[in-house]
Every structure is written in C-alpha cells, then in structure tokens.
Amino acid sequence: MRGSHDEYLQPTNPLTMWAYTDFSDSRWKFTTKYVSLRMDPAQFIAEARLWNAKTWAAYALNGQLFIKRYSPRRQQLSRFRCSFEMFTTTSFSKWRHSAITKVRRREVEHSERWSIHRMSN
C-alpha cells in the first residue's frame, strides 16, 4: 500500500489515458506500487501518463535492464499534471519524462540518472 485513507484524502498519483488505450489489454500490469507496459509487435498502440515524485522507468531486453531516474518538480508538469509517459506501437516503445519548464534564461539544466544491469534467470 502506498498510503492509508486517513493520511491521503486527496488523489496522489494522476493516471491519464488516450481513447485508443485499453487497460484490460494483457500488456498492462498494475500492482500496488508499479505500472508496467509490455511491447508486443502483434498488438496495437497503447499510451498513458502518470505522476510520480520519484520517477523512474526500466526497460528489459535480452537479459539486460536499463533504468532511468528523474526527479520532477511540480512546476515542470506537462499535460494533466503527469511526470512520465509510456507509449508503445507494433514496432517500438517510448517512455519518457514528461516535463515542461518555462525558460527565462539561455541555460537550463536537466538531470537523469541511467544504469544498466544484467538480469539473472
């Protein structure tokens, strides 16, 4: 559980979907803490966005796990106050941090932490 009803009376993690996204599709998996989307070349497009204060995403392929971490700020939110986007088609998957910032200077800093891990069988 991510929190109790007594502690959190307001929503904590927005989740948005597009009209062509079907959450009953077997590629989606929802657990208490995580949401996952599996790419399948035989399936149609799926897309969703969500909010997470400590955003991270992992992509597993051929025994390797790529992890990308990012800490968004509330003022950097894009559509629907979400910090992360998942998208897949029949030929590729895209997952990205969904942040927008108004730039008032010529320099902007954005930090991501990447790591690659070998998965055990």
Counted residue by residue, the chain has a size of 121
Report pLDDT for 78.
Answer: 59
CB 54 within 8 A of CB 13: no
- 22: tokens are 């079907």
pLDDT mean values, one per 10 residues, the chain (121 residues): 80 83 90 85 85 80 89 62 82 70 66 90 69
Three-class secondary structure of residue 56 per DSSP:
strand
